[in-house]
Amino acid sequence: MALHPTHCLRFVDVAAWDSSSIEWHRLLLQLPDHEQKQVTRFMFAKDQKLALSSRLLQRQLIHELFGVKYDTIDIVRTPENKPYWNRPPGNLAPSSWNYNVSHHGTIVAIASDSRALVGVDVVRLTDRPHRKTSIEEFFRAFAGHFNAGEWEYIRGADDEDGQYVHFYRLWSLKEAYIKAVGIGLGFSLLRAEFVRVNLIGEEQWNLLLDGELSSDWRFTSTQVDADHLVSVAYGPFSAMWKPETSSIFHADKFPDVHNATKTEESTSWQEWRLQDLLR
């Protein structure tokens, strides 16, 4: 089956990026002045690398899909801080095209589609609490964020490392859902319960929202390297938080049709290197 041209999954690993290199400064100069300042405002190099690559990924994807020049791409944010492309009149992108970006550890990922709302979340599976904090204490702090069935999945792993992996997988699925909807603070994570579907190959997940199966949502959860996992949520446009005030979609073009099966062509992630982002 041919892939839909607006369905994209891309990521970069910034671990080897050198913020004192010539290439780094070339990449920085590809951003508008105000975004360059946003990047360099971070104190630590690791945060600067994540901020820079997040902004470049968005521009690179828009440029690749729709042939838009870098210096004309205007990235802004919703009141809930979700970035989006402020499109000029006459652009070639479908009116329903949207994307989401996330970073954690050394990975920055972006996902896009025009047939569904998209949310993405990256987690580093090797993160652990302070050495004096036991796994019991760590999980206790999140007792109010997971349902009984989810705790059964988390605790069902063979060892502590496996339990952490299961925990982070469920956490990233919940975050991907919240980011797709674009909801602000105040959403209880207990409302969104994830149930594993036992399929051969890649894990699939069903969403129970307030206890009811949400069959119009689809989720993937993919390990892109030894340490990082990326979850993606695809859902109906009608689920958008406050669609009547949406700045991502114009009210007269707000999509009202979605079929989760249409997003099933591919879950393959493509890695971009630093050189791929240089113009």
The answer as to whether 154 is a domain residue is yes
Is the distance from CB of 150 to CB of 193 less than 8 angstroms?
yes
- Total-model pTM: 0.91
Q: Is residue 215 part of a domain?
A: yes
**What is the structure's pLDDT at 279?**
86
Residue 117: its H or E element: strand 117-124
Query: Which residues, including other chains, have CB under 8 Å from residue 2's CB and lie 6 or more apart?
Result: 265
* CA Rg value for the chain: 19
Which range (83-92, 107-116, 262-271) has the least confidence? 262-271
Residue 3 lies in a domain: no
Q: Compute how many other C-beta atoms are within 10 angstroms of the C-beta atom of residue 23.
A: 13
Residue 38 counted as domain residue? yes
Indicate whether 2 belongs to any domain. Answer: no
Q: Which of 149, 147, 118 is nearest to 219 (CA)?
A: 118
Q: What is the pLDDT of residue 240?
A: 87
Is the residue at 95 inside a domain?
Answer: yes
| Domain contains 46 | yes
257: pLDDT confidence band, cut at 50, 70 and 90?
Answer: very low
Domains in the chain: how many in total? 1
> In this predicted model, what pLDDT tens digit does every residue of 157-187 receive, in sequence order?
999 999 999 999 999 999 999 999 988 667 8
The answer to the question of residue 1 being in a domain is no
Question: Domain containing 172 — which CATH number?
Answer: 3.90.470.20
Structure-model confidence comparison of residues 116 and 203, the more confident one: 116
Beta bridge partners of 231: 121, 221
Residue range of the domain that includes 270: 8-277
How far apart are alpha carbons 21 and 108 in whole angstroms? 20
Mean pLDDT of 23-50: 95
